[in-house]
């Protein structure tokens, strides 16, 4: 059948099973929006800003495992997607961004709202292309979805000239290509080598990253840990791949990881790394990372092997598929002495915080009120680290946060996407006041579409993490990090159609979060905490992870100076 380019776009989305799109219309993409009007089966969420649409598509993908879709018009509409696309790229999120450009005849003439968005997005996408010929439109869109989801997932951008959206061409429906796990490079020799390293180990440690969640390997990770009796730590992106309530779990590793995880990885003789890329925030001084251990790295992306840390052995392939084969080769093992040593560290170095209305206390109250079953999104900063430390994630795709790019303003859009993808779940975004200022306009999106998420603003009236660094390493010179102005977030929320609640006392937090959950409507909770609260434990930038310190260590150091 002969269809317009706009009709082909919509039919291709339907082919791929797309049920939700986030976006913002404009001149060059009007033909597609006009066709979208005729297809209520595709739910379109009109965001307040294109960046919010990109983050929402990202959050939808992270929460569901499906490919997120966002749309924008040419020029500034397209460039406003860039931060969201880069965020998805750094965290390996499958996303397809569809933009439209000026007509082919106007390209290269500095036409109104013309930009080479395919060129702009090239370094932050798996694939970026402009479609100037309707005969390749359908196949290009199909290829975009395949690329976004296959291997190591990531975002793809398809830019379409306006004349292509109006032209007509023969369209034939196609069943989407089935994407199989990547297993071509898994070898018997590689598996046997890893098995022998595990069998020889006396102090094994498992380190879980976001790749374990992407591959759906949670069950296999649990089986491996208990089969070989090894403690487990994780990255920020790996939260939920291994239950935070399991007795073998020791907490996050790295700059704000637990002392147990940092000391344990330093002492172990074998580190089994599952879908993690050795970020600098994890390794600290990479040259001194896990120097007592042989390192095994299992990852779908060959480019990550030996990139940041040199490893003893590696297997390139889908983590779930690799672990299935490894577990089948391994007999149950016991490392009672090693586990006892780890348990002693857990008892000696528990996560702890001061009394009162603190950031960690806020997270603990959210955990209690949700019974640990919510989908938590965050922005970036101190609140993000507290959410990673004090909320115990027991299943994958329940912490959605910007790990690689560290995007302030990510959380609210991501929460919208998560709720659209998982309407059965309570979805809570935890933000700092600095981050909230970057995306507070999306509260209007919540009220417009009645998306019942809860925005918790951990409000210390400063840029908390930057201030923490200024306190510890910059002589308390608080250059441009104080936000003591007249902004009233409760009034902002109410003005945009969202219920606002302020919390200034410890005993108010639990009732506030329960009220927001039971209300079933969009809500904001503005929680005031002290401006000098800090995230501990902490490793100084560039130091080895065993140099981790907490508030007590800092106090002792100050006493020694005196």
Known catalytic residues? Answer: 50, 112-113, 162, 465
How many other CB atoms are found less than 10 A from the CB of residue 530? 15
- Is residue 215 exposed (0-12), middle (13-18) or buried (19+ Cβ within 10 Å)? buried
The Cβ-side half-sphere exposure at 199, using a 13 Å CA radius, reads: 11
Q: What is the DSSP string of 83-97?
A: HHHHHHHHTT--EEE
Cβ distance 284 to 545 under 8 Å? yes
User: Nearest-CA neighbor of 262 among 288, 240, 238?
Assistant: 288
Q: Residues near 306 by Cβ (< 8 Å), separated by ≥ 6?
A: 314
Q: What is the DSSP string of 438-500?
A: HHGGGHHHHHHHT---EEEEEE-SB-HHHHHHHHHHSTT--TT-B--SS--HHHHHHHTT-EE
**Calpha distance 310→269 (Å, rounded):** 15
Between the alpha carbon of residue 286 and those of residues 236, 237, 278, the distances in Å are: 18, 19, 8
Cα–chain center distance at 1: 41
Q: For the chain, how long is the longest CA-to-CA vector?
A: 83
Cβ distance 91 to 236 under 8 Å? no
Return the residue matching tokens 């959380």: 411
**Calpha distance 562→75 (Å, rounded):** 59
151: alpha, beta or left? (left if phi > 0; alpha if psi -120 to 50): left
Between the alpha carbon of residue 397 and those of residues 42, 60, 215, 254, 374, the distances in Å are: 23, 10, 11, 21, 10
Per-residue 3-state assignment (H helix, E strand, C coil) for 354-401: CCCCCHHHHHHHHHHHHCCCCEEEECCCHHHHHHHHHCCCCCCCCEEC
Strands annotated E in 228-300: 232-234, 249-252, 270-274, 294-299
Cβ distance 264 to 231 under 8 Å? yes
Cα–chain center distance at 435: 16
Q: What is the DSSP string of 153-189?
A: --EEEEEEEHHHHHSEEE----PPPP-----TT--HH
Terminal-to-terminal C-alpha distance of the chain: 83
Q: Residues near 337 by Cβ (< 8 Å), separated by ≥ 6?
A: none
């Amino acid at each position: 059948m002969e269809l317009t380019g706009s009709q082909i776009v919509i039919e291709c989305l339907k082919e791929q099973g797309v049920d939700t799109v986030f976006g913002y219309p404009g001149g060059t993409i009007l033909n597609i929006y006009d066709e979208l009007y005729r297809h209520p089966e595709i739910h379109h969420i009109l965001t307040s800003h294109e960046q919010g649409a990109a983050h929402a598509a990202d959050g939808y993908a992270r929460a569901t495992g499906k490919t997120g879709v966002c749309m924008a018009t040419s020029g500034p509409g397209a460039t406003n997607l860039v931060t969201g696309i880069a965020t998805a790229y750094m965290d390996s999120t499958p996303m397809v961004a569809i933009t439209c450009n000026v007509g082919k005849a106007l390209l290269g003439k500095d036409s109104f709202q013309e930009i080479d968005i395919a060129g702009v997005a090239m370094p932050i996408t798996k694939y970026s292309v402009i479609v100037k010929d309707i005969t390749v439109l359908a196949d290009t869109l199909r290829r975009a979805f395949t690329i976004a989801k296959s291997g190591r997932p990531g975002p793809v951008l398809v830019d379409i000239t306006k004349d292509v959206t109006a032209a007509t061409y023969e369209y034939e429906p196609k069943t989407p290509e089935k994407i199989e796990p990547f297993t071509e490079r898994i070898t018997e020799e590689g598996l046997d080598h890893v098995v022998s390293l595990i069998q020889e180990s006396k102090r094994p440690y498992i380190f879980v990253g976001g790749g374990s969640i992407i591959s759906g390997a949670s069950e296999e990770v649990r089986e491996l840990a208990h089969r070989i009796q090894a403690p487990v730590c994780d990255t920020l992106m790996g939260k939920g791949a291994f239950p935070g309530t399991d007795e073998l779990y020791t907490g996050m590793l790295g700059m704000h990881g637990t002392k147990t995880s940092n000391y344990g990885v330093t002492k172990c003789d074998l580190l089994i790394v599952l879908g993690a890329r050795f970020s600098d925030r994890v390794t600290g001084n990479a040259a001194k990372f896990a120097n007592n251990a042989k390192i095994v790295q299992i990852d779908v992306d060959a480019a990550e092997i030996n990139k940041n840390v040199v490893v003893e052995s590696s297997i390139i392939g889908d983590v779930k598929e690799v672990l299935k084969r490894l577990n089948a080769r391994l007999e149950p093992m016991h490392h009672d002495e090693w586990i006892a040593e780890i348990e002693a560290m857990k008892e000696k170095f528990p996560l702890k915080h001061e009394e009162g209305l603190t950031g960690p206390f806020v997270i603990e109250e959210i955990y209690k009120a949700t019974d640990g079953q919510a989908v938590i999104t965050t922005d970036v900063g101190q609140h993000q680290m507290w959410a990673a430390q004090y909320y115990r994630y027991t299943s994958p795709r329940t912490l959605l946060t910007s790990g690689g790019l560290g995007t302030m303003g990510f959380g609210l859009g991501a929460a919208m996407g998560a709720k659209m993808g998982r309407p059965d779940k309570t979805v809570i975004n935890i933000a700092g006041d600095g981050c909230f200022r970057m995306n507070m306009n999306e509260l209007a999106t919540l009220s417009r579409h009645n998306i019942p998420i809860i925005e918790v603003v951990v409000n210390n009236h400063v840029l908390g993490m930057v201030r923490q660094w200024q306190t510890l390493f910059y002589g308390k010179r608080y250059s441009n990090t104080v936000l003591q102005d007249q902004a009233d977030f409760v009034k902002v929320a109410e003005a945009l159609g969202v219920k606002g609640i302020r919390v200034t006392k410890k005993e108010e937090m639990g009732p506030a979060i329960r009220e927001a959950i039971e209300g079933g409507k969009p809500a904001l909770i503005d929680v005031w905490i002290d401006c000098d609260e800090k995230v501990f434990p902490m490793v100084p930038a560039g130091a080895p992870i065993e140099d981790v310190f907490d508030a007590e260590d800092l106090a002792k150091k100050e006493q020694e100076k005196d």
